[in-house]
Amino acid sequence: MEIREYTSNDEQGWVRCRILSFLDTAYFDNVLTEKETYENPSIELVAVEHGKIIGLIDIEYEQKEGTVCSRGTGLGGMIWHIAVHPDYQRKGIGNMLLAEAQKIAREKGLNHLEAWTRDDVWVNTWYEKNDFQHVDSYLHVFVGGEEVDGILTSNVPGLYPVQAFAHYTGKEKEMVKGKFSRVHDCNCFEKRLDK
């Protein structure tokens, strides 16, 4: 297995790896049909075995404090994607991708990484095992079916909302969790690289 920089020729394999790795997570419906590009510089790595993309990590990073990350001081990097193909999970590939990305991040003068993820226990545990600290959270709320009644309206004649995705940042999290059938904690993890 080789870890190397992503190239544009890797896009189809990157998309397939990401889709398959997200199927058994709370992000199962966050499907991309093409690889994201970033406004700021980025560290984009892939793990490759026998010509197949089996893992990936994308970190967009700051050249000016506060332009990418929402927390921390100094220059940071946001982990937008980290994924390992299901057939290759539990073999340390995610750890190897993270280690290589951290090495590059330090070389670029970054002093922290930030990542946001939903409430899959095994994903949150992975971040904690890799020395990330849980520092914040809010809710991802999916509204659909009868839940829409009285919540969503339209001022466009003939347009009727049938579903929505929302962020809840208030203090009544348990009330929101009780009101809607699909609600996820969205957790922020941060790792200092200068320790």
For residue 122, count other CB atoms closer than 10 A to its CB: 10
* Mean pLDDT, the chain, whole residue set: 96
Chain segment 151-174, per-residue pLDDT in tens: 888 999 999 999 999 999 999 999
For residue 16, count other CB atoms closer than 10 A to its CB: 13
**Cα–Cα distance, 146 to 82 (Å, whole number):** 35
> Of 17, 82, 15, 8, which is closest to residue 49 (Cα–Cα)?
17
**What are the backbone angles phi and psi of residue 64, rounded to the nearest 5°?**
-135, 125
Is a pLDDT exceeding 80 seen at residue 195?
A: no
**At 15, is the pLDDT very low, low, confident or very high (cuts 50, 70, 90)?**
very high
State the maximum Cα–Cα separation within the chain, in Å, rounded to a whole number. 58
Chain segment 17-54, per-residue pLDDT in tens: 999 999 999 999 999 999 999 999 999 999 999 999 99
Q: What is the pTM of this model?
A: 0.93
**Cα–Cα distance, 54 to 88 (Å, whole number):** 7
- Which CATH number does the domain 2-134+188-192 belong to among 3.30.930.10, 3.40.630.30, 3.20.20.70, 3.30.200.20? 3.40.630.30
Chain segment 104-117, per-residue pLDDT in tens: 999 999 999 999 99
pLDDT at position 150 is 84
> Residues for the chain: how many in total?
195
More confident: 160 or 139: 139
Residue limits of CATH 3.40.630.30 in the chain? 2-134+188-192
Mean pLDDT for the stretch of residues 109-132 = 97
pLDDT at position 73 is 87
